[in-house]
């Protein structure tokens, strides 16, 4: 006999606490899925710096827990529950990053690692208080959107600076967040979220790109430019 459930008093599906590694896997899988393709074993292994064999094993456990759908040799996809968990972790991570920058004077190049550890032990209450304390930010310091408490996220895709049309005025919306050295360099170029930037020349054979940030003209490689997401400025 199944339990009769009232209107909205579903006894809370008890999202029993996930381990830190599990949360890391889910975040990684989410990132690959957002880029279209299902997450391949090797991709996950590389991103988390662990052996591919370990991923096979863990992914089995994730499937047992109903967090991913798994077909041997076919890669993994998040289930609805897995996606919820991934977004919860992502929210924690990004709120923490924003809080460290806005409330504790951290530089945007040094928040990632700290957040990477704290995201696994901070309670939802703490995250909500942090968010409230800095005015409910919508993005983290690198421009990445912060999922809401309810688990929704603004997934609008963006162009990279490398792909921007020459001569078009654009605005930086987001930059890669993991490499502190890159972040310091981007900062020195003025390439921060919100900054206006125009691609003025693309040298052939994957050569350097010429960009104008504010009134300064700079040269950057395509690799760097591809880590900078931009939106065209509607003026």
Partner DNA sequence: GAGTAATGTTAGGTCCACCTAAATCGTATT
Partner DNA sequence: AATACGATTTAGGTGGACCTAACATTACTC
Nearer to DNA by Cβ, of 20 and 168: the residue is: 20
214: left (phi over 0), alpha (psi -120 to 50) or beta: left
134 three-state secondary structure: coil
With CB under 5 to 8 Å by kind, the binding choice for 21 among a second copy, DNA, none is DNA
Nearer to a second copy by Cβ, of 53 and 133: the residue is: 133
**Site pattern 53..92 for a second copy (x: CB under 8 A):** ----------------------------------------
Contacts to DNA by CB under 7 A: 19-22, 40-43, 48-61, 70, 72-75
SS3 content of the chain, % helix, strand, coil (to 5): 40, 15, 40
Burial class (CB in 10 A: 0-12, 13-18, 19+), 133: exposed
Nearer to DNA by Cβ, of 43 and 109: the residue is: 43
> In sequence order, what are the beta bridge partners of 171?
196, 231
Cite the beta strand spans of the chain per DSSP E: 68-70, 76-78, 159-160, 169-175, 196-202, 209-213, 216-220, 228-232
- Cβ–Cβ < 8 Å for 224, 208: no
Shortest Å, Cβ 47 to DNA: 12
- Cβ–Cβ < 8 Å for 193, 139: yes
Nearer to DNA by Cβ, of 54 and 110: the residue is: 54
The stretch near a second copy (CB under 8 A) out of 42-50, 97-105, 137-145, 203-211 is 97-105
**Site pattern 13..42 for a second copy (x: CB under 8 A):** ------------------------------
How distant, in Å, are the alpha carbons of 46, 110, 134, 138, 209 from that of 129?
34, 22, 9, 15, 42
207: left (phi over 0), alpha (psi -120 to 50) or beta: beta
**Site pattern 104..123 for a second copy (x: CB under 8 A):** xxx-------x--xx-xxxx
**Site pattern 184..223 for a second copy (x: CB under 8 A):** ----------------------------------------
Nearer to a second copy by Cβ, of 121 and 215: the residue is: 121
With CB under 5 to 8 Å by kind, the binding choice for 194 among DNA, a second copy, none is none
Q: Please give the residue ranges that form the binding site for a second copy (CB under 8 A).
A: 100, 103-106, 114, 117-118, 120-123, 125-126, 129-130, 133
């Amino acid at each position: 006999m199944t339990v009769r459930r009232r209107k909205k008093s579903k006894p809370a599906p008890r999202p029993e606490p996930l381990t830190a590694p599990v949360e890391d896997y889910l975040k990684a899988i989410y990132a690959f899925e957002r880029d279209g393709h299902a997450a391949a074993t090797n991709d996950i292994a590389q991103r988390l710096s662990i052996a591919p064999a370990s991923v096979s094993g863990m992914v089995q456990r994730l499937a047992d827990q109903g967090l991913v759908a798994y077909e041997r040799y076919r890669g993994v996809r998040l289930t609805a529950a897995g996606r919820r968990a991934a977004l919860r972790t992502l929210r924690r991570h990004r709120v923490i990053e924003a809080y460290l920058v806005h409330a504790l004077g951290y530089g945007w190049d040094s928040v990632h690692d700290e957040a990477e550890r704290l995201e696994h032990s901070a309670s939802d209450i703490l995250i909500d208080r942090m968010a409230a304390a800095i005015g409910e930010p919508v993005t983290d310091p690198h421009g990445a959107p912060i999922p809401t408490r309810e688990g929704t996220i603004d997934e609008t895709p963006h162009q990279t600076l490398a792909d921007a049309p020459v001569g078009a005025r654009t605005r930086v919306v987001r930059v890669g967040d993991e490499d502190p050295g890159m972040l310091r360099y981007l900062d020195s170029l003025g390439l921060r979220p919100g900054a206006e930037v125009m691609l003025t020349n693309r040298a052939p054979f994957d050569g350097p790109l010429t960009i104008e940030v504010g009134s300064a003209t700079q040269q950057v490689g395509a690799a760097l430019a591809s880590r900078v997401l931009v939106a065209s400025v509607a003026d």
